[in-house]
Amino acid sequence: MHVYGREERTGVLRLAGLPNVARYPEATVERNEESILIRFSGRYYGEQTMSVPLRYVGAEDDEMAELELLAQLQRIGYRVRRVSPGG
């Protein structure tokens, strides 16, 4: 997955290279101090994990970056779930 810096004018986080939503319909997002971990899972295809360093997200607030990512994944069609930091 490629994460491009957010554009200051629009505040849009751009994602590319995500697994096929039909094969991996569920996305679980968990944030730690240095990165956001995304686990994509599907009934027949197992799981794919991606880690995005927070420094590449370009958000001033780490929690806001996580929430924006969840919203964007949901708009794409994934069923999203958030795991609390440290939990």
pLDDT of residue 29: 95
Q: What is the pLDDT of residues 26-57, one digit of tens each?
A: 999 999 988 999 999 999 999 999 998 887 77
Cα pseudo-dihedral 6, 37, 40, 49, rounded to 10: 110
Q: What is the pLDDT of residues 19-31, one digit of tens each?
A: 999 999 999 999 9
The residues facing 82 across adjacent strands are 29
State in Å, rounded, how far the first CA of the chain is from the last one.
24
CA dist., res. 83 & res. 53, Å (int) = 17
The structural domains of the chain, with segments of one domain joined by +, span 2-83
